[in-house]
Structure 1
Amino acid sequence: MKILITGGTGLIGSALCARWRAAGHELTVLSRTPARVGALCAGAQGIASLAELAPDYLPDAVLNLAGAPIADRPWRDARKRLLWESRVYATDQLVRWMALRPAPVPLLLSASAVGWYGDAGEARLDEASTTPGDDFGAQLCVAWEQAAQQAMQAGTRVAIVRIAPVLAQRGGMLARLLPPFRLGLGGRLGTGQQWMPWIHIDDLLGLFDHLLMQSSCHGVYNGCAPEPVRNVDFTGTLAACLRRPAMLPLPGWLLRLMLGEMAVLLLGGQRAIPTRTLATGFVYRYNSVGLALQQLLARQP
């Protein structure tokens, strides 16, 4: 297949590039640093602008992962604008470009996040849930998904993955947690009772591959493991895997003082279940967070 990818140099994109190049797919990656694409994306072709593609270029699929990191810094006004532009505006431009192709692009695979649900407390959530959250992160996801869904008007199959925090050997949430936890300085966040969806990176890559190949799959899919855990259980499991204590919690008031509005990412939670994902026949390799962490930590240098 010919696959056009945005956001291909990030954690998920670079791993998918390696997987799909090994499978023989022809990959083109849109990037602000196209000279680095070959090294970061398993030899894929890098472009800086969609205008570089030939007028008759028609990919078999478009994978849309582009977006500035949402948790790198507090959500002040300038940061909010960047997050919106890099997701909503960029997706809108991509869909407009797709509409100009000589024929409908068969598939748009677009990222979203479980943050769509906002801080949902104890509610059990799946893809049939119709009420998004009201914080900035949730509304960003709502607009991001709406921009991607416009591609259906041109006859494109659209599949959206609401991605949970990704557990990976390098990068992502686990890389941030390991240094303090290895020193015995880790602990729960706030009360620790907030639900925490998660997914092993191998399962997330497998899900994107599954949706790519299953022509009947369309709509929204939760990209999370079937067994969410509370934050206190996740941090306790991570500490146990490292044989360290987890006795230094971060109080909620301190996180709100440090992060402001963005603290909802750490103190809020979603008890998200991948009902539609499982209904497609997708099989998870890592249902248990303990199994996932053990596997990833065993691969750590």
Structure 2
Amino acid sequence: MGLVYSSVIDAPQEEVFAWHSRPGAFTRLSPPWQPMKLDSEAASLRDGRAALALPGGLRWVAQHQADGYEPPRRFVDQIASDGPASLAAALAVRWKHIHEFEAIDTTHTRMTDRVETPVPGRFLRPMFVYRHRQLADDLAAHQLARTRGLAPLTVAVTGASGLVGSALTAFLSTGGHRVIRLVRHEATKSDERQWNPDDPDPDLFTGVDAVIHLAGVSIAGRFTQGHRRAIRDSRIEPTRRLAELIAETERGPRVMVSASAVGFYGYDGGDEILTEDSERGDGFLADVVTDWEDALAPAGRSGARVVPIRTGIVQSPRGGTLRLLRPLFTAGLGGRIGDGQQWLPWIGIDDLVDIYHRALWDTQLSGPVNAVAPEPVRNADYTDTLGQVLHRPTILPVPALGPRLLLGEQGARELACASQRAIPAVLAAADHRFRHPRLDQALRHVLGRAATG
């Protein structure tokens, strides 16, 4: 019972150990397919305590053990009880996790996870395959940035609690950067600053090197008049005010990276290959994205480098389309939409994080960047691939009428049935390396179906 899992990480022992000690490490290592959410992260690997929220109001508490703390070689945590919600897990499961780091040479580390538990190892292995892959890829991304001259930054982030924001802020903080979360409520933590989208504080960007702007109401849902207004109002004017504030801040941020969308190219691009040089398309979302990107202009005119990230369909079971599709496909109820010929410009969540990161350090990036995988797929191919990854049939096509009933005519046309054959031309020209360039790789990674040999 239990598990021993080991791999060689291409980084020095001290660096690998230090990565685990920084805020965001637990978030980066938490498998997205598991039904748990981080409540609080341990303040110390020596004797800190982390808490996870489990289904049914239960909690998992991991207590770090001072007698197992031997930096940079080892740290240990085990399950503990901290109140009634955590008592059931502590009584039902024995769990001790020993993290070991052995220097192979000055640039390589053997990392070994030893888990003492009655849970069979075959159930645990996918989690540790994921964790080791995440760690290796994250460290490689930070190493590349350092070789290109990126020093530790102070980065202000809007939308930090969302799907992309939570992954990105954890990635940046584990890489040694200081993250300031711009929140709308009163700031209660040392890493927060209150942000009023209608009237931002003149000192909001004091001491900030770069701004990453992710905030905006989700576009999912029926395109009612109220929903369309919320989509526009949450994006255009708040973005303009942030861009103006950057321009007005003395010695302010020199980089502004903003969320954008492939909706710029319209809802039906046919089979045309869409690059960053392609013209805007038709539709409500194309209008919104055009105005959204135009709102960044004040920052650009002030001399700041501005990079709108035109994002495709993000692949993560924690949110977005995959969160909705996963239970349907797992139940064998998945299928293509309509004839399945519409193009789907997808992107893995960690590749999207890497693209935002690159926009911080690659000074050649300026202007729109398509954040999509190099191989767009048709809806039918996406359906087949997801079914294969989950080992489920995909024989129940969704008639075009279905999305129209759920989303309305406009919502179905611009969301469920949209077709954009977008490619990452700017990133390709920069020789950007994707972690998961193929759809099956990306889905297997985030769904815990990667090879576990």
TM-score, scaled relative to structure 2: 0.62
Aligned to 2:418: 268
Supply the RMSD in Å over aligned alpha carbons: 1.9
Q: Radius of gyration: which is bigger?
A: 2
Q: CA deviation at 1:239?
A: 0.9
Q: 1:212-231 maps to which residues of 2 (within 5 A)?
A: 212-231=360-379
What are the equivalent positions in structure 2 for 1:28-177 lying under 5 Å apart?
28-33=180-185, 44-49=191-196, 51-52=200-201, 54=203, 57-71=206-220, 73-118=221-266, 119-130=268-279, 132-177=280-325
SS in 2 for 1:270: strand
Distance 2:242 2:205 in 1: 16
Aligned partner of residue 271 in structure 1, secondary structure: strand
- One-letter code aligned to 1:124: I
CA contact (8 A) 1:17 1:44 kept: no
Structure 1 CA distance for aligned equivalents of residues 403 and 200 of structure 2: 43
After superposition, the C-alpha distances for 1:177-215 in whole angstroms (9 at most, x for unaligned) are 101111111100111100001011111111111111112
Q: CA deviation at 1:31?
A: 2.1
Q: Aligned residue pairs: how many? A: 293
Q: Which has the higher contact order (CA 8 A, sep 6+)?
A: 1
**Separation in 1, partners of 2:265, 2:203:** 39
- Give the superposition deviation at 1:55: 7.1
Q: Determine the structure 2 residue equivalent to 1:253.
A: 401
Aligned-partner Cα distance in 2 for 1:299–1:171: 18
The reply on whether 1:241 has 2:426 as its aligned counterpart is no
CA distance in 2, matches of 1:141, 1:205: 20
Contact kept, 8 Å, 1:159 with 1:221, in 2: the verdict is yes
- Displacement of 1:152: 0.9
Structure number having the greater helix percentage = 1
Q: How many Å apart are 1:83 and its aligned residue?
A: 0.6
The answer to whether 1:2 aligns with 2:184 is no
Q: Say which of 177, 185, 188 aligns to 2:333.
A: 185
1:44: how far off? 3.3
Q: Note if 1:15 corresponds to 2:167.
A: yes
State which drifts further: 255-264 or 81-90: 255-264
Give the drift of 1:54: 3.3
In structure 2, list runs of 5 or more residues that go unmatched.
1-152
**Secondary structure in 2 aligned to 1:120?**
strand
Structure 1 residues 55, 13: closer, same or farther in 2, change over 3 A? closer
How far apart are 1:51 and its partner, in Å?
4.6
CA 152–273 in structure 1, closer or farther in 2 if over 3 Å, else same: same
Q: Is the 8 A contact 1:104 1:155 kept in 2?
A: no
Q: Secondary structure at the match of 1:178?
A: helix
Task: Give yes or no for the alignment of 1:286 onto 2:436.
Answer: yes
**Residues 58 and 102 of structure 1 are in contact (CA less than 8 Å); yes or no, is this contact kept in structure 2?**
no
2:192 maps to a residue whose letter is Q
For residues 360 and 193 of structure 2, the distance between their equivalents in structure 1, rounded to whole angstroms, comes to 21
Letter in 1 for 2:415: L
The residue type equivalent to 1:123 in the other structure is E
- One-letter code aligned to 1:88: I
Give the TM-score normalised by the residue count of structure 1.
0.92
1:112-137 deviation digits (Å, cap 9, x = unpaired): 0111111211111111112x121111
Alpha-carbon distance change, 51 to 161 in structure 1, aligned in 2, over 3 angstroms: closer
Structure 1 unpaired stretches of 5+: none
CA contact 2:236–2:291 (8 Å) conserved in 1: yes
Superposed displacement of residue 257, structure 1:
3.0
- Verify: 1:26 aligned to 2:175, yes or no: no
Identity %: 39
CA contact (8 A) 1:28 1:47 kept: no
The structure with more strand, counted as a fraction of residues: 2
Query: How far, CA to CA, are the matches of 1:167 and 1:34 in structure 2?
Result: 32
Distance 2:403 2:164 in 1: 27
- One-letter amino acid of the structure 2 residue matched with residue 47 of structure 1: Q
Report the residue type matching 2:384 in the other structure: G
Counterpart residue type for residue 210 of structure 2:
A
Give how far 1:56 is off: 7.5
CA distance in 1, matches of 2:425, 2:204: 40
Hey, what's the Cα distance between the residues in 1 that align with 2:289 and 2:264?
5
User: Residues 196 and 231 of structure 1 are in contact (CA less than 8 Å); yes or no, is this contact kept in structure 2?
Assistant: yes
The one of 436, 440, 445 aligned to 1:295: 445
- Gap change, CA 1:273 and 1:185, over 3 Å in 2: same
1:147, distance to aligned residue in structure 2 (A): 0.7
Mean alpha-carbon deviation: is it higher for 236-245 or for 27-36?
A: 27-36
SS of aligned partner of 1:160: strand
Structure 1 residues 22, 55: closer, same or farther in 2, change over 3 A?
A: closer
